[in-house]
Amino acid sequence: MRNYYIFSNGALKRKENTVFFETPEDKKPIPVENIDQLFVFGEVDFNNKFLNFSAQNGICIHIFNYYGYYSGTFYPRETNLSGDLLVRQAQHYLDKTKRFVLASCFVQGAIHNIKRNLQKREDFKEEIARIEEFEKEIEKVKNIPELMSLEAHVRKIYYSCFEKITGWEFGERMVQPPGNPLNALISFGNALVYTSILKEIYLTPLNPAISYLHEPGTRRFSLSLDVSEIFKPILVDRIVFKLINLNQINKEHFEKELGGVYLNEIGRKIFIKCFDEMLNATLVHRNLRKKVKYKTLIKLELYKVIKHLLEEKKYSPLKVWW
């Protein structure tokens, strides 16, 4: 199974057991058994028949607007339900001590993976030392706001290194809208990670709206935000550094509109190609002692969370060793 990315304008329709993407000039079949998830960037029409068919086959459809900004997901009715796990998820959120344990694990994993990216170079020893000081403070903080503040300080130090790593202007992290090309790359990559994790959550009995580091709220799948903290340094930042340092992406791949900077279509295609290749790349897992894909690491992380919620094994976040 693979991801499909749609940039052209047209319509997605169902005919028997096949999905077709139709434009005025062409009609392309997409075998439904080959679809993992759909990412829609063009102006695409759907009908009820197509959406029902997608739901029956467990296909998540992620919608992005004209500027490549994530708008939302068609999330099919969940089939891997577990009342016991749902109750335990809620209990771990409502119990402040239990919630804090999981929240701190997400932050520990994020900080370690951030630090590992800087350790790949020789010129950030001072920044790494400062990050390690904040890392030690995790055991001393007492609540979620303090924990998130600690992580924010670490990211501020981390982002201060981006201009030196890439040679591009960065300034500070700007989200809505991104204020420069480097911010635009990070925002676009973060949206891809968020949606990829959401798809993997769908395949488990976990409820995506119950989270621990980020406050659960309306109209968002906040558990995906929690898990994203661990994977953004791996699946976004490393791609950003690679694309810029190998000159695979440059300032011509961006456009300025509505007071912000966004990847244009060519730029999005370049990023997505690299992102898809990384998701399907393999590495030898240190504990399993076999090759696994990067996207499998997300699945393994979610099942570690499940085991923690079921009190089978304490959760330990993914900390990159490569």
CATH number, domain with residue 28:
3.100.10.20
Q: How far apart are CA 158 and CA 160, in angstroms?
A: 5
* Token pair recorded at residue 167: 């040679």
Lookup: tokens for 27? 């009609």
Ordered alpha helix ranges (H), 34-82: 48-56
* Same structural domain, 12 and 141: no
Same domain? 114 vs 33: no
The per-residue pLDDT for 283 is 93
Please tell me whether residues 14 and 55 are part of one structural domain: yes
Q: What are phi and psi of 31, to 5 degrees?
A: -55, 125
Across-strand partners of 11? Answer: 22, 45
Does residue 274 belong to any structural domain of this protein? yes
Spacing of C-alpha 4 from chain mean position? 17
Give me the CATH number covering residue 242: 1.20.120.920
Q: Is residue 322 part of a domain?
A: no
**122 and 170 share one domain:** yes
Residues 37 and 113 in one domain: no
Match 């694990």 to its residue by tokens: 105
120 in a domain, yes or no?
yes
321 is a domain residue: no
How many independent structural domains does the chain possess? 2
Question: In this structure, is residue 316 part of a structural domain?
Answer: no
Q: pLDDT digit string (tens) for 76-119?
A: 988 888 999 999 999 999 999 999 999 999 999 999 999 999 99
> Do 185 and 242 share a domain, yes or no?
yes
Residue among 214, 237, 218 at smallest CA distance from 227: 214
Q: Are 297 and 280 in contact (CB under 8 A)?
A: no
pLDDT digits (tens, 9 = 90+) for 25-66: 889 988 888 899 999 999 999 988 899 999 999 999 999 988
Measured CA to CA, the distance from residue 300 to residue 270 in angstroms comes to 28
At 264, give phi and psi (nearest 5°).
Answer: -80, 180
| Ranges of the chain whose pLDDT falls below 50 | none
| Torsion, CA 185, CA 190, CA 196, CA 200, rounded to 10 | 160
208 and 149 inside one domain: yes
Same domain as 194, residue 110: yes
Q: Which of 44, 74, 104 is the last residue of a domain?
A: 74
pLDDT at 47: 87
Residues 222, 215: contact at Cβ < 8 Å?
yes
Residue 239: inside a domain:
yes
Q: 112 and 36 in one domain?
A: no
The domain boundary residue, chosen from 74, 91, 122: 74
pTM of the entire predicted model: 0.92
pLDDT for res 77: 85
Does residue 320 lie in a domain region? no
Domain boundaries, position 167: 83-309
Q: Is 19 found in the same domain as 135?
A: no
What pLDDT, on the 0 to 100 scale, is given for residue 223? 97
Closest CA to 34 of 53, 19, 47: 19
Torsion angle of the four alpha carbons 272, 113, 298, 240, in this order, in degrees rounded to the nearest 10: 0
Which token pair is 185? 């790359």
Query: 3-class SS at 96?
Result: helix
* 214 shares a domain with 94: yes
Instruction: Answer whether 118's CB lies under 8 Å from 124's CB.
Output: yes
Residue 271 CB burial class (10 angstroms; 0-12, 13-18, ≥19): buried
Q: Are 145 and 292 contained in the same domain?
A: yes
Of the residues 74, 101, 125, the one at which a domain ends: 74
Query: Which residues have a Cβ under 8 Å from the Cβ of 149 and sit 6 or more positions away?
Result: none
Residue 317 within a domain: no
